[in-house]
């Protein structure tokens, strides 16, 4: 398979942004069969790097690398504390980032198991997570960069996805916004679920309400009627 310059940001090579330890982690993931080839960096954010990789059938996958030093680990602790799944995490930066990665993997799996449209997780190790690539020739755009033909219908689809997240996976996303929803073939795909908490967690309600406020504020700007309380009822009742 060949990749055009459009596939990757050719100013940034993978080698240029990963340290020696990261290179070792990548080698281990390859040995485990999680993927076979690094293609290039697709996006680099404050806290993570999104890398295009392929498996041994040349299928595209995403390798998400969580940065250790740049991580806002104080904020991460808020979403780890109180989660029975991660109670044993040590309070060091590295341990918290590793847990964060494992948490995004576990959350993606929970969502995948109940049929939420989200990338299927394949593997994780330390601060690296391998998951499905959303897109075809080009990467699927974020909701904020998508011209939506029928915003009301799109909002409805997102509410339905959130209902599955809440009622079937017993979770709250915690960072839902027009940045963390991709649009592929007209359907919303939910991503970036590291903040996701179980709905039994004490602050789950606060996070749910914030997600709904973000969602409604965005769709109201697109001219769609969206009332926070109504959406909350739809998701939780
Ligand atoms: N599985 C995927 N398929 C296609 N694109 C993806 C995938 N995962 C992430 N992306 C792209 O990379 C961007 C950043 O990923 P994500 O939201 O998971 O990380 P982030 O934690 O927000 O990173 P940062 O805080 O560093 O910006 C997404 O908005 C999306 O454009
Ligand atoms: Mg994001």
Give the model confidence (pLDDT) of 99-135 as tens digits. 999 999 999 999 999 999 999 999 999 999 999 999 9
The answer as to whether 105 is a domain residue is: yes
**CA 215 to ligand 2 center in whole angstroms:** 15
Boundary (domain end) residue, out of 81, 101, 132: 132
87 and 13 both lie in a single domain? yes
Q: Whose CA is nearest to atom 13 of ligand 1?
A: 43
Mean pLDDT is lowest, of 28-42, 68-82, 141-155, 205-219, for: 68-82
Higher pLDDT, 2 or 52: 52
Q: What's the CATH code of the domain at 124?
A: 3.30.200.20
Boundary (domain end) residue, out of 78, 102, 132: 132
**CA 101 to ligand 2 center in whole angstroms:** 14
pLDDT at 13: 64
The answer as to whether 137 is a domain residue is: no
| CA separation for the pair 126, 24 (Å, rounded) | 11
24 and 124 both lie in a single domain? yes
Q: Whose CA is nearest to atom 26 of ligand 1?
A: 45
> Alpha-carbon Rg of the chain, whole angstroms?
18
Among 75, 182, 196, residue to substitute to test ligand 1 (most atoms within 8 Å of Cβ): 182
| CA separation for the pair 82, 129 (Å, rounded) | 23
| CA separation for the pair 231, 237 (Å, rounded) | 10
**CA 183 to ligand 2 center in whole angstroms:** 14
| CA separation for the pair 181, 49 (Å, rounded) | 17
The two structure tokens encoding residue 228: 């926070």
Beta pairing partners, 136: none
Q: What is the 3-state secondary structure (H, E, C) of the chain?
A: CCCCHHHCCCCCCHHHHCCHHHHHHHHHHHHCCCCCEEEEEEEECCCEEEEEEECCCCCEEEEEEECCCCCCHHHHHHHHCCCHHHCCCCCCHHHHHHHHHHHHHHHHHHHHHCCCCCCCEEEEECCEEEEECCECCCECCEHHHCCCCCHHHHHHHHHHHHHHHHHHCCEECCCCCCCCEEEECCEEEECCCCCCEECCCCCHHHHHHHHHHHHHHHHHHCCCCCCHHHHHHHHHC
Boundary (domain end) residue, out of 109, 132, 155: 132
152 and 67 both lie in a single domain? no
pLDDT digits (tens, 9 = 90+) for 133-181: 999 999 999 999 999 999 999 999 999 999 999 999 999 999 999 999 9
19 and 125 both lie in a single domain? yes
Among 45, 143, 173, residue to substitute to test ligand 1 (most atoms within 8 Å of Cβ): 45
Phi, psi of 228 (to 5 degrees): -50, -50
57 and 150 both lie in a single domain? no
Residue 9 — pLDDT band, cuts 50, 70, 90? very low
Which atom of ligand 1 lies at the shortest distance from residue 119's CA?
1
Question: Considering every ligand atom, which ligand is closest to the CA of 43?
Answer: 1
pLDDT at 45: 85
- Output the ligand 1 site: residues, CB below 6 A: 43, 45-48, 50, 62, 64, 119, 131-135, 139-140, 142, 179-180, 191-192
101 and 148 both lie in a single domain? no
What are the Cα distances from residue 54, in Å, to 25, 69, 78, 158, 178?
16, 27, 34, 29, 27
The boundaries of the domain holding residue 149 are 143-236
37 and 127 both lie in a single domain? yes
Q: What's the CATH code of the domain at 177?
A: 1.10.510.10
117 and 161 both lie in a single domain? no
Residue 12 — pLDDT band, cuts 50, 70, 90? low
95 and 150 both lie in a single domain? no
**CA 192 to ligand 1 center in whole angstroms:** 6
Half-sphere exposure of 134 (CA within 13 A, CB side): 24
**CA 156 to ligand 1 center in whole angstroms:** 23
The answer as to whether 138 is a domain residue is: no
The answer as to whether 80 is a domain residue is: yes
Question: Considering every ligand atom, which ligand is closest to the CA of 189?
Answer: 1
Looking at the 3D structure of the chain, how many domains does it have? 2
The answer as to whether 184 is a domain residue is: yes
The answer as to whether 59 is a domain residue is: yes
| Catalytic residue list | 175, 192
């Amino acid at each position: 398979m060949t990749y055009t310059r459009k596939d990757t940001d050719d100013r940034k090579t993978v080698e240029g942004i990963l340290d020696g330890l990261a290179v070792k982690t990548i080698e281990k993931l390859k040995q485990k069969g999680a993927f076979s080839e690094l293609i290039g960096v697709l996006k680099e954010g404050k806290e993570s790097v999104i890398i295009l990789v392929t498996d041994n059938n040349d299928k595209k996958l995403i390798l998400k690398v969580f940065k250790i030093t740049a991580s806002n680990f104080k904020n991460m602790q808020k979403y780890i504390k109180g989660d029975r799944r991660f109670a044993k995490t040590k309070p060091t930066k590295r341990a918290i980032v590793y847990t964060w990665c494992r948490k995004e993997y576990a959350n993606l799996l929970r969502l995948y198991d109940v049929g939420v449209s989200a990338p299927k997780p394949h593997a994780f190790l330390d601060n690296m997570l391998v998951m499905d690539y959303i897109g075809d020739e080009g990467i699927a755009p974020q909701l904020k960069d998508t011209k939506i033909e029928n915003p009301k219908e799109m909002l409805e689809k997102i509410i339905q996805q959130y209902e599955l997240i809440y009622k079937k996976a017993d979770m709250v996303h915690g960072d839902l916004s027009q940045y963390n929803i991709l649009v592929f073939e007209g359907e919303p795909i939910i991503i970036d679920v590291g903040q996701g908490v179980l709905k039994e967690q004490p602050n789950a309600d606060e996070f749910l309400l914030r997600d709904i406020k973000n969602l409604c504020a965005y769709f109201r700007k697109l001219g769609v009627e969206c009332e926070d309380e109504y959406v909350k009822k739809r998701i939780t009742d």
